[in-house]
Amino acid sequence: MESRGSNSPPDPAVAGPLPYEGVWRFTAPAVDVSVPQARHAVRDLLERQQVPVGGDTVQGLLLIVSELVTNAVRHAALLSPEIAVEVAVGTSWIRVSVEDNHPYRPKALEADHGQTGGRGLMLVREITGEAGGTCGVEQTANGGKVVWAALPLVATVTSPRSTPSAL
């Protein structure tokens, strides 16, 4: 898994980003083994940068990463042999996104208890909403897509039905 980051230590004489703020991007082949690798890379990044995020938020975030990377591997690999996972951390929020080159824009399915799969984006939407965050899908300049979720670093409890989402 290739990793690139844009974080540099802050200069104490200049007011600037906090030590944990920055944007990091990991690329990986669109294969099954990339799912746990992406999850571990995000977890390790949060620990290394000492991002002040609670345990429940970390677990939700890692589940979101797993679901988004799994979707890219399962549904986009034919047109996108490589995927990118990006982690952006601000002063009070964290955003994870997965980019692929497939043009199809996914939508969260409604619960169908007879179905054994297809609930990943619904799960992402629910986790994000419960944490007080938001999620969505954006098209890229090359015709692919970025599926993302942003969570507050300090969880706020909200009703999942009241949180808008593009998924």
> How high is the pLDDT of residue 117?
59
DSSP state of 78: T
Domain spans of the chain?
20-162
Structure confidence at residue 154 (pLDDT): 77
pTM of the model: 0.81
Q: How far is residue 4's CA from residue 57's CA, in Å, rounded to a whole number? A: 24
47 and 62 Cβ atoms separated by less than 8 Å: no
At residue 31, the 3 state secondary structure works out as coil
End-to-end CA distance of the chain: 27
pLDDT given at position 108 = 63
Determine contact, residues 144/124, Cβ cutoff 8 Å. Answer: no
Q: Are 21 and 92 in contact (CB under 8 A)?
A: no
Nearest to 67 by CA among 135, 122, 29: 122
> Which CATH architecture group holds 20-162?
2-Layer Sandwich (3.30)
Per-residue pLDDT tens digits of the chain, which is 167 residues long: 655 555 544 444 445 678 899 999 999 999 999 999 999 999 999 999 999 999 999 999 999 999 999 999 999 999 999 999 999 999 999 999 999 999 988 876 555 555 555 678 999 999 999 999 999 999 999 999 999 999 999 754 444 444 445 56
Q: What are the C-alpha distances in Å from 85 to residues 13, 28, 70, 114?
A: 33, 8, 12, 31
